[in-house]
Structure 1
Amino acid sequence: MSDAAAAPGAFQGYGTKAYRAWVLFALVVVYTFNFIDRVLVSIVQEPIRAEFNLTDTQLGLLGGPTFAILYTLLGIPIARLAERKNRMTILSVCVALWSGMTALCGMANSYVTLLLARIGVSIGEAGCTPPAQSVIGDYFPEDKRATAVSIYSLGVPLGSMLAAIGGGFIAEAMGWREAFLVLGLPGLALAILVKLTVKEPPRSAAAGETPSFAQGFSALLKKPSFWCAALGGAVASFVGYGVGQFTNSFFMRSHELSILQASQITGLLIGFFGAIGTFFSGWLADRLGKRFPNAIAWLPALGFFIAAPLNIAGYMSTSLPLAVGLLAAATLTQYFYLGAMYAIAQGVVHPRMRATAVAILLFIVNLIGYGAGPPVIGAISDAIANSQLAPAGLTLDACRAAGAAAAAANPVCASASEVGLRWAIIIGFSGFFVAAALFLAAWRTLQRDWHRG
């Protein structure tokens, strides 16, 4: 007997607790692969930079708008399809697509072909989160939803950790191309497993007919807490994706680590400490929500106010142990916003608009965060590096003209590259204060905007 049938009245969830646990586990694995395939390019970008002789701006384009544009634009039409069609079929097809395109990244023979393969990854990944979030909303009751969404969001730190550690190990042992092949191909089997074992849940009984996109968007326009949370998440993602694109590069340039050593630290920071912060924030929001209904909005702000100065201090430190300690503490709190952002998007809308609300949220977050973060951080890095090179009568182009190996061996070029990236990252983290202010603005109107029924 399902738990829902055993407790008439308020919606208690679809299926048994054990089956809901399996569904959530399967969706976490899917989201983990989503981020493995998304983040891997940033882990192996230093050997890519050396092979194709690239600037930080070009690396930023590879990690940012190349992925973000179609990922962002396709999210909404796929979400509208998910409001009416089988969400698990959509999700499974998309998993297979992005996994195959990730493997093709390893076959790229130029910067352009790598860009095209990354675009293919983005098309597949556009169909992940909107249907997955909608399914979670129909499997779990409202008072468990923030925890469920936070558990799903563990795919971000776990996928980033596995991409870092696995990608770094494979790249050092075999090469960067093999990293894409080894980590991309298993997703094809995952797509089949998910389709065969995860049932499409019935839509909420109270949902009724699916509103049109215009009706749903019009309703969202009257929900300021949604827009504040979306913009807060966008600014946080601008910082997170922008800095994350260059974290491995930072440890390699500033602390002279190998790709494997750098990726182990990156994986530990994002995977372990990020996962704790992501889960704990959702768990805490559900429990504080009984006494403080708007906790889901002010917890992210608190996390950003703590994380910003700790991150800045960590990236300024020349001591590797101190830097890792400070960044670990910062990572615990900077991911407080992930589960909260999704829970707010689901909570303020009609049940039949959940996938669309999440897609609109992702449109804003990824267009600003993923689309702009990496190239802006990369461009700032290049600009500062050029200012460092100017007194010596050099430029980044002159360093690159000598070839990647010669540029790395030239202490002036190497120092400018290190200083430019360090300060670009430090400047980037100031954005967390803006994100905190936006979540506090959402806190003021959340209860008024919350959908009841």
Structure 2
Amino acid sequence: MSTVDQAASAVSAPNSGFGTKGYRSFVLGSLLLVYVFNFIDRSIINILTEPIKASFGVEDWQMGLLGGPAFAILYTMLGIPIARFAERFHRVWIIAVAVFVWSLMTALCGVATSFLVLFLFRVGVSVGEAGCTPPAQSLIADYFVPKSRATAVSIYALGVPLGGMFAAVFAGFIVGNLDGPSLAALFEAWGWNWMLGLLDWQAVEGWRVAFILVGIPGIILAFVVKLTIQEPPRGYTDPPSAQKLEKASMKDVFKILSGKPTFWHIVAGATVASFVGYGVAQFTTSFLVRTHGLSLETAAILFGVIIGLMAALGVFLSGYLADQMAARHPRALCWMPALGMGASVPLYALGYLAPTVWLALPPLMAAATLHYFYLGPMYAIVGGVVDSRMRATSVAVTLFIVNLLGYGLGPPLIGILSTFLKSVFLSGNDLGMTLETCKVVADLTADAAATCASANSEGLRWSIIAFCSLYAWAAVHYLLAGRTLMRDMMPKEL
């Protein structure tokens, strides 16, 4: 607690941030690693959609529930209370405990005995992950001065595409390349015989192995975070007038935010982008498997490495370029994301309509780079319209809305739309095929199986294209935010 209150004694806002340049880089790298694990653990379910679906005998709409509401509801509900806690107490402790909880819950997903149990463990993952970003964004604001903060938060935001990339590569390798070994076999091969007596690992195989092996390193990371990251004085990079302000109540926060139209347009645009992004990410690997006939391993690698790296490039460039252009074009934080998301719409349509995967990849890679231009500026703006007393809460309010509506509704609604369109495509066939008859694959003739596969593929393809067109809506909100950006940002943030 002593470091939290040291800001009151600060004489002036420093020019270089808290700690040495090397230590600030270490802290930012550590927080990036935390966020990478955050997104590995939440998005690995997307890569494993097909084997989990087959294991429990469920449809796309049920997998959408697993990928969306199972995670989003408590994640959003707990975000604001945890952020309020982070405004007053030790933020590093909060992050360390959060990493431990979500990593443990991820590992437990690997021993789920039913779809319902897996759903409940996913809820547990969301409880832990709710304690990550609000305190992390507050820490970054105290470690980095405003002129370099957009770059810093964009580097932190790289956790989104990088986490998705690593989840894709790892899950694809486990399920596709290891041919479903039990975890017991892996422990024996690695010489970890002491693990064999702790649980019956023979039943833990295939997709279950992926959950456990990504969960265990996160538990270790939780201890590393607590032991190596120092809690900075709260408001360290703020001017003296801001450092001397009293604690802000929730009423104070909403009073400030209610008069900031920039904030609400940014939140609206990010919500739409999240709705599309989480929904499409849930089923992109499945699309590559169903439409282009790729193995799960190949589909995961293409989605994770190629598209994921391009998305990471877009996240970094958005913050870096905004910092570089801030002096001459201060509204770049708004118009760059708007241009990026608007241009991504036709590129996504071209990619998902392409007849081969190799024709699909170039437009999909370009679209991923451009649409992710919104992420870094989003964090920079929602933290920049308030002072240091309110940053964690401002970020938490943003994540509450973005994830409740975007993450909570995106995956299930695209799953529902995919299932509906699948039934529409089936209704026009001459074989009398329906959703129910398509479930019993072993009893189908070759023509019937081909009809079901085609409907399954086309239903998902057009669902994804419909969702991607909504990026244009998100772009409009970022353009509108630019009209009031200069007025609404705190003076020290410009």
TM-score, structure 2 normalization: 0.88
1:387 is matched with 424
In the TM superposition, 1:287-366 aligns within 5 A as 287-366=324-403
- Cα shift readout 1:24-69 (whole Å, capped 9, x = no counterpart): 0000000000000010001011011111111111111110011000
| C-alpha distance 147-404 of structure 1, shift in aligned 2 (>3 A) | farther
In the TM superposition, 1:207-286 aligns within 5 A as 207=243, 208-286=245-323
Cα deviation, residue 331, structure 1: 1.0
Question: Which sits farther off after the overlay, 403-412 or 269-278?
Answer: 403-412
Match of 1:412 among 444, 451, 457: 451
Match of 2:210 among 179, 191, 197: 179
**Equivalents in 2 of 1:97, 1:9: separation in Å?**
36
- Cα shift readout 1:207-263 (whole Å, capped 9, x = no counterpart): 332200111011101000000001100000111000000000000000011110000
**Equivalents in 1 of 2:433, 2:254: separation in Å?**
52
1:446 is matched with 485
| C-alpha distance 109-446 of structure 1, shift in aligned 2 (>3 A) | same
Cα deviation, residue 413, structure 1: 1.1
2:65 is matched with 61
**Equivalents in 2 of 1:375, 1:431: separation in Å?**
16
CA contact (8 A) 2:106 2:212 kept: yes
| C-alpha distance 403-25 of structure 1, shift in aligned 2 (>3 A) | same
**Equivalents in 2 of 1:267, 1:236: separation in Å?**
19
Match of 2:229 among 198, 203, 217: 198
1:37 is matched with 41
| C-alpha distance 105-178 of structure 1, shift in aligned 2 (>3 A) | same
Cα deviation, residue 403, structure 1: 5.3
3-state secondary structure, aligned to 2:234: coil
**Equivalents in 1 of 2:344, 2:428: separation in Å?**
35
**Equivalents in 2 of 1:185, 1:225: separation in Å?**
41
**Equivalents in 1 of 2:436, 2:268: separation in Å?**
36
- Cα shift readout 1:393-412 (whole Å, capped 9, x = no counterpart): 33213322x25896998111
| C-alpha distance 379-20 of structure 1, shift in aligned 2 (>3 A) | same
Q: Which amino acid in 2 is paired with 1:191?
A: A
**Count of residues paired in the alignment:** 447
Match of 1:376 among 391, 400, 413: 413
Cα deviation, residue 377, structure 1: 0.7
Task: Verify: 1:164 aligned to 2:168, yes or no.
Answer: yes
**Equivalents in 1 of 2:341, 2:287: separation in Å?**
22
TM-score, structure 1 normalization: 0.96
Q: Which runs of 5+ in 2 are unaligned?
A: 1-10, 181-205, 237-241
Question: Which sits farther off after the overlay, 236-245 or 170-179?
Answer: 170-179
Match of 1:426 among 446, 465, 470: 465
1:78 is matched with 82
Task: Verify: 1:153 aligned to 2:192, yes or no.
Answer: no
| C-alpha distance 266-227 of structure 1, shift in aligned 2 (>3 A) | same
Q: Which runs of 5+ in 1 are unaligned?
A: 1-6
Question: Which sits farther off after the overlay, 83-92 or 168-177?
Answer: 168-177
3-state secondary structure, aligned to 1:335: helix
**Equivalents in 2 of 1:343, 1:397: separation in Å?**
49
Cα deviation, residue 182, structure 1: 0.7
Q: Which amino acid in 2 is paired with 1:187?
A: G
3-state secondary structure, aligned to 1:246: helix
Match of 1:435 among 474, 482, 488: 474
Match of 2:438 among 381, 389, 399: 399
**Equivalents in 1 of 2:379, 2:389: separation in Å?**
15
| C-alpha distance 192-407 of structure 1, shift in aligned 2 (>3 A) | farther
**Equivalents in 2 of 1:62, 1:134: separation in Å?**
30
CA contact (8 A) 2:341 2:370 kept: yes
**Equivalents in 2 of 1:373, 1:152: separation in Å?**
24
